[in-house]
């Protein structure tokens, strides 16, 4: 291996000019002695090959990166294990750099010493980097009406473009910026938001979930008619985030599951109050209250009596349509009460 001082003296002018950012020239060179190859564009993580033509008259040759000598002939000067010698003969001098990174971008020079004069060949490596989202808003939980700003930042080369969109089926909110502003967010804007970073190399996608809390809204109560001794069910449904807790009342008295043969079962947004054997005392007005930390809402029901048809009542025509639980739906309460009042008179005929 040649003494390092020898190589520094041989290529000293080349190194000095490279550090100053000037065109590569060896002392005494003419314009024709220096060649500039086309740029080499390589993706991050790939392998690049640097080839330099030789010749019978070449006595010494070296590959340089900026101010560093990578290879001087067969002698490796670089301590980087990714750099290795591929070919060195009379035709070519080729080295390779594996797993290319952004730090490898820049100018490379093949310096050749012939019997008459030195010459150089230079090439510029351009490293392209796929986009990577490096800063993204976290999943958030907010109350309805809050102002929201989502942030998405990405690295890459070429610089990636950023876009946002709401990917739920009911959403059409979108933005072509790293920021997404959502003023006074509504429950309809809750869902999964997708940030996409795109450049010529690849695409990176990540998501943010927004949960919007709001007070319960209860569906209108549906009156239910049930025959004495039969099974009856009152159903209360509430839309709320977080899910509502339910309370049931008969007039002003709260009802608990198991009270007087009644059962309360809550499943998600639905609460059912079930009467397994309806008695006279069960008929009346009921109230369902749905509650979460943002508020409450309520609705009322009427559980009314339905008289089973007899030979006498059939003369009066149809009074009710039986439901699947053995009760009847769609008969207004005061009609049933009038029917009960006049029943003794009807039976006399």
Confidence label for 309 from pLDDT (cuts 50, 70 and 90): low
Q: How far apart are CA 14 and CA 259, in angstroms?
A: 97
Burial class (CB in 10 A: 0-12, 13-18, 19+), 116: exposed
Whole-number pLDDT of residue 203? 97
Tell me the pLDDT band of 116, cut-offs 50, 70 and 90: confident
d(CA 268, CA 290): 12
Which pLDDT does position 1 carry in this prediction? 42
Residues with Cβ within 8 Å of residue 31, at least 6 apart in sequence: none
Do the strands 118-136 and 40-43 form a parallel or antiparallel pair, or are they unpaired?
Answer: parallel
Going by pLDDT thresholds of 50, 70 and 90, the confidence category of residue 169 is low
pLDDT digits (tens, 9 = 90+) for 197-215: 999 999 999 999 999 999 9
Whether pLDDT at 336 is above 70: no
Task: Tell me which of 246 and 22 has the higher pLDDT.
Answer: 246
Query: CA 99, CA 43: separation in Å to the nearest integer?
Result: 9
Please state the rounded mean pLDDT for residues 5-26.
37
The larger pLDDT score, comparing residue 336 to residue 194, is at 194
pLDDT of residue 16: 32
Q: What is the mean pLDDT of residues 158-184?
A: 86
Contact between residue 160 and residue 199 where contact means Cβ atoms under 8 Å apart? yes
By the 8 A CB rule, do 48 and 40 touch?
A: yes
Interacting residues of 344 by C-beta distance below 8 A, sequence separation 6+: none
Average pLDDT over residues 54-79: 89
Half-sphere exposure of 159 (CA within 13 A, CB side): 2
Say yes or no to pLDDT of 328 above 80: no
Ranking 39-48, 110-119, 244-253 by mean pLDDT, the lowest is: 110-119
Cα(269)–Cα(285) distance, integer angstroms:
22
Residue 140 — very low, low, confident or very high, per pLDDT cuts 50/70/90?
very high
Q: For residue 242, is the peptide bond before it cis, meaning its omega torsion is within 30 degrees of 0?
A: yes
pLDDT class for 27, splitting at 50, 70, 90?
very low
How are beta strands 48-53 and 92-97 bridged, if at all?
A: antiparallel
pTM above 0.85, yes or no: no
Mean pLDDT (the chain) is 81
Q: Which of 209, 272, 287 is nearest to 241 (CA)?
A: 209
pLDDT of residue 35: 74
Q: Tell whether the model's pLDDT for residue 245 goes beyond 60.
A: yes
Q: Is the dihedral of CA 72, 75, 78, 80 positive or negative?
A: positive
Q: Which range (54-58, 95-99, 223-227) has the least confidence? A: 54-58
pLDDT digits (tens, 9 = 90+) for 212-233: 999 999 999 999 999 999 999 9
CA distance 219 to 95: 75
Q: Quick count: other Cβ atoms within 10 Å of Cβ 28?
A: 10
Contact 118, 64 (CB under 8 A): no
The upper half-sphere exposure of residue 12, i.e. CA atoms within 13 Å in the direction of its Cβ, equals 6
Cα–Cα distance, 241 to 245 (Å, whole number): 11
Alpha helices for the chain (secondary structure H): 4-10, 12-19, 333-347
Q: How far apart are CA 248 and CA 35, in angstroms?
A: 89
């Amino acid at each position: 291996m040649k003494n390092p001082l020898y190589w520094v003296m041989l290529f000293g002018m080349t190194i000095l000019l490279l550090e100053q950012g000037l065109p590569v020239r060896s002392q005494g060179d003419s314009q024709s002695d220096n060649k500039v190859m086309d740029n080499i564009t390589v993706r991050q993580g790939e392998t690049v090959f640097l080839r330099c033509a030789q010749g019978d008259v070449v006595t010494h040759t070296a590959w340089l990166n900026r101010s560093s000598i990578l290879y001087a002939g067969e002698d490796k000067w670089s301590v980087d294990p990714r750099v290795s010698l591929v070919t060195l003969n009379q035709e070519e001098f080729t080295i390779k750099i594996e797993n290319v990174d952004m730090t490898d971008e820049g100018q490379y020079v093949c310096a050749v010493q012939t019997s008459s004069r030195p010459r150089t060949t230079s090439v510029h490596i351009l490293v392209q980097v796929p986009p990577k989202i490096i800063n993204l808003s976290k999943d958030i939980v907010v109350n309805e009406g809050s102002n929201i700003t989502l942030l998405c930042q990405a690295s890459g080369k070429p610089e990636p473009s950023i876009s946002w969109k709401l990917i739920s089926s009911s959403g059409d909110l979108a933005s072509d910026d790293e920021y997404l502003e959502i003023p006074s967010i509504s429950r309809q804007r809750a869902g999964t938001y997708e940030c996409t970073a795109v450049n010529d190399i690849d695409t990176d996608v990540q998501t943010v979930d927004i949960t919007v809390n709001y007070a319960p809204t209860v569906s209108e109560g549906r009156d239910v008619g049930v025959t004495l001794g039969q099974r009856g069910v009152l159903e209360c449904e509430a839309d709320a985030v977080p899910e509502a807790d339910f309370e049931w009342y008969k007039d002003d008295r709260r009802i608990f599951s198991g009270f007087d043969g009644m059962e309360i079962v809550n499943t998600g947004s639905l609460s059912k109050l079930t009467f397994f054997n309806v008695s006279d005392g069960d008929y009346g007005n009921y109230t369902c209250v749905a509650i979460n930390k943002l508020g409450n809402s309520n609705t009322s029901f009427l559980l009314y009596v339905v008289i089973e048809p007899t030979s006498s009542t059939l003369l009066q025509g149809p009074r009710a349509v039986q439901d699947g639980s053995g009760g009847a739906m769609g008969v207004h309460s005061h009609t049933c009460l009038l029917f009960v009042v006049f029943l003794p008179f009807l039976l006399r005929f």
